[in-house]
Structure 1
């Protein structure tokens, strides 16, 4: 596939030295490796190589959704791909899913989820900060996902005009304050996810979920460690992505139904009949 004017390219030197940029004829990027002539990449194939003015090799990589997320414009902490991927798997997200998002932020999460639910699904995202909404719009347009996300500058505590959603994702400091609004928006047994940076938040959220018409409540944390794979010298990296956030999952059920009391886990109780 050839690089065209107006498309995006990831200029890759090493995993720690890479630049995501839009291709225009006169663009040049000044780096400590020398100047990269971005305009010269027009008509070249993705996967090919150019050199800087200092003779350093730069690979021309077609960017993925992961690249757009990690290089997105932001003012707040983003949800990392390791957490986004598990949310998608745990909730059964797929093409055609209808998603309610409370807390748009920089739209890193909306960008990833839109890439899964498109072309038949849609994301309805709410945030009270107008500055965040402008950043979110730019990030979605850059990643080519704007058509699959509706941004709403609205306080979700006042209710949301979404019904029969398959999944609701809440990224607020106090997710327990919108549980009733989310319950109204979800379809029966729809999936709920709260993104919580602290243990106090997951404790309060899980406690309130049990009172608000939710079941199958689970709180988790995901850690990821890279390996330095070199012949005869492979070992775990000294650096890793440790704590980024906690995730609280639940499913919508009938309100005021008596929830089963929690019992200690016993090995062998889960299974398929």
Structure 2
């Protein structure tokens, strides 16, 4: 992070689901390796964690005790929306500084930082940004006292790379990310897809991407507009970087995992250079639209 930056890498995503066991089976079919399944007693939630070698994670959560505030909130969320991304998480070096920056910038927050409950198993402090601050995406800023999480079992050659948002209020989202110290690349149009994208490159070689529809005659533009029209702004797609997306596509075909077609080359406007991309059919990944991506030239430092 730079001296003025508060927000760190995109470190995790939590997806609320009505049936945790069923969702674990579906995400396991996509190649994700289950690291842990736990009961967050203080929150009234059951959590299944798919960890990655760099300490990032994908979590599936289910509210099982509605007498607890968090359990009730998750259960109500699922009742209203079905399986859906609940929050995305970004690490911070100093949670107090993040809180001060958020207040000074008038960013909508839930309240002051809180310590993670003992059942999490990590000494951590958390600060939540209200969905209105991020275009509809509930967002957590996280400070882990002892560094990145460590998992005995991880998914090889895979990590969260980008959280894609379709924002109900693009300007407020840009203001929030900028106020937290993130820097945006110039926005670019992808006419063939009917959308405009703005990418914030974050530490840890991760990103947040904000997309808006520009041409609803195009399938992708139309899908984004449907998300907005149906009251589902915010989290739209989670992108995972993998070692070889073409080999992954072959495995999916052999295992009967539905995709939206074979891997394709990225648009020339992509800020990550030439990539190969594969989209999983939404029915295969309850709660989020999943994209797998392989950059044909990527940083030398491995993540697995």
When normalised by structure 2's length, the TM-score is 0.23
The structure with more radius of gyration: 1
Higher relative contact order (CA 8 A, sep 6+): 2
TM-score, scaled to structure 1: 0.25
